[in-house]
Structure 1
């Protein structure tokens, strides 16, 4: 097990049209897009800011991903040593999609998947860590949700690799158990066995917005789709699950309708 828990700290959308995606999420989530001044020759990368703090980025689907890759969000889990963490994922039954490599001026990353196939990235950033964003801050990431083929085995994997611990279980009846998990504090997400309509194991990320109804309207107004909700969840918050105008799945969470 990790010496101390680590978790997601950066989120990235790979898409077909960077400008269209930037405009969409600026309207829906309230992010402020800003082009990243990377090294010469690097592909264009747009940082999405919540206030003055970057929380994620948008880039074009890389050519090496192949024609079958659809627009999608992926999360980066903090690594103290990307090479060692990547090797540990492989030894635990995961898959390495891209071996560790350097992003000039940013850090060392890899692309991996858990044993059930859910993809995530590992990143050992250059420089000091940024302080955490206060919970509930508009534009920050409010929840992490894993749909998987076997949540118990998935939890064992993430617990062994990153030090995650079980929080409470929620019995969802025919949908089974929804297992909340924590990474050194309060619960930051949940995992469950995926329903039949979800073809592959995958992570879904919930972005904080002030009000769910207004945000859901913005999704539709900007060409996206609301796939589920608004729905009230335990604790009194409201959520919707959505698809953006290019087909990437995401979700929104708010303290009120």
Structure 2
């Protein structure tokens, strides 16, 4: 990463790279205001083999970064615990049909992560 810039500043660039390196498959899902791309291992049913996703960042940044998702039993309770422990909300909790309830957060130092209660549970 010369000059600290990512080598794949777009979701399409990142998807192409990881497909070539790991053989990961991707399937775009239209969502309000954005496209979210589900990643899978390419083994079995797309939904059963999915393990992550890619979305473009909102705003004027051109950075690419990973945001880990953690499966939780109760998104709203977990959001309250994160905020009570010094973290903050990047994207409010919302329900995504056939995906689950999710929220994007940061820890107290600003590192981003997301939580999800998958639907159906996986």
User: CA shift at 1:103, angstroms?
Assistant: 1.5
Alignment of 1:81-92 (within 5 A): 81-92=74-85
Alignment of 1:95-134 (within 5 A): 95-129=88-122
Matches of 1:46 and 1:118 in 2, distance apart? 22
Q: Is the contact made by 1:97 and 1:113 (CA closer than 8 Å) also made in structure 2?
A: yes
Question: 18, 41, 54: which is aligned to 1:25?
Answer: 18
Matches of 1:97 and 1:37 in 2, distance apart? 21
Matches of 2:33 and 2:59 in 1, distance apart? 19
Structure 2 partner of 1:77: 70
Higher helix share: 2
Ranges of 4+ aligned residues in structure 1 off by more than 3 Å: 36-39
Structure 2 partner of 1:16: 10
Count of residues in Structure 1 that have an aligned counterpart in Structure 2? 109
Structure 1 partner of 2:3: none
User: CA shift at 1:127, angstroms?
Assistant: 1.2
Q: TM-score, normalised by structure 1?
A: 0.38
Q: Which runs of 5+ in 2 are unaligned?
A: 1-8, 44-48
**CA RMSD in angstroms, aligned pairs only:** 2.1
Higher strand share: 1
Matches of 1:69 and 1:112 in 2, distance apart? 20
Q: TM-score, normalised by structure 2?
A: 0.75
Cα gap change, 1:105 to 1:38, in 2 (>3 Å): farther
Q: Which runs of 5+ in 1 are unaligned?
A: 1-14, 130-257
